[in-house]
Structure 1
């Protein structure tokens, strides 16, 4: 009997203003059994609201969060500043990764030095990158 593959994570959140990048990332996540449920946000403000509304409900929170840097109205860095003010329980449960097409070394360094960011990765999300996340 062949067992169905169990996704690595229950819920993954992607925050990116580019709908094509959102689509590619979500397909990569589902096709590689990385996440069972994928929350897609083109607005960092809406993503923060979701996290704030659910910070006391672990079952609704994503275990992995991918955030782009360059977005209108609220950048990924501004998102991370607000994210930093969320509950310590949420921040321990949700692992944040910065995903960007930037080649600016200052952006990469700023991402990697943020205490809430596990690591920086250049777009697009790849199977190899997902395989390294535990």
Structure 2
């Protein structure tokens, strides 16, 4: 099996089942050395800001209570981290709203919009 592509992968999604499936896909693909799942965007911001976690890749859901994916990105931008532009962020969502897709494509931090569920095939295409 190949070496993991990333050190720390952060999965931000409030849905337990989606997290379970996505985590299994990431683990069986040897995607990252460590996979951290956080079920709320405010908690993820707090962990990143406190430097408790330093992800190099993030899978971010759009529709979440308290703070959605786009609000997370605004807060993330205000952290002014030295390496926040180096962090690859993939919007991982079941949203079919063209506005969500457009906003994702226009955001400087979003590498790619991916429709749920994450699959091995999609994961392979983003690793290459």
Question: What TM-score, normalized to structure 2?
Answer: 0.92
Q: CA deviation at 1:5?
A: 3.3
Q: Deviations over 1:76-120 (max 9, x none)?
A: 110011011122423123111111001111111111110111111
Q: Determine helix, strand or coil for the equivalent of 2:3.
A: coil
Q: How many residues align?
A: 127
1:52 alignment partner, one of 49, 53, 62:
49
Using the alignment, how far apart are the partners of 1:78 and 1:86 within structure 2?
13
Query: 5+ residue gaps in structure 1?
Result: none
Q: Which residue of 2 aligns with 1:25?
A: 22
Q: Deviations over 1:11-31 (max 9, x none)?
A: 100000001101111110010
Q: Determine helix, strand or coil for the equivalent of 1:65.
A: strand
Q: Determine helix, strand or coil for the equivalent of 2:55.
A: coil
2:88 alignment partner, one of 78, 90, 95:
95
**Contact 1:51 1:61 (8 Å CA) reproduced:** yes
Determine whether 1:40 maps to 2:29. Answer: no
Q: Which residue of 1 aligns with 2:123?
A: 130
Q: CA deviation at 1:130?
A: 1.4
Question: What TM-score, normalized to structure 1?
Answer: 0.88
Indicate the larger mover: 44-53 or 84-93.
84-93
Query: 5+ residue gaps in structure 2?
Result: none
Q: Determine helix, strand or coil for the equivalent of 2:92.
A: strand
Q: Which residue of 2 aligns with 1:70?
A: 63
Determine whether 1:8 maps to 2:1. Answer: no
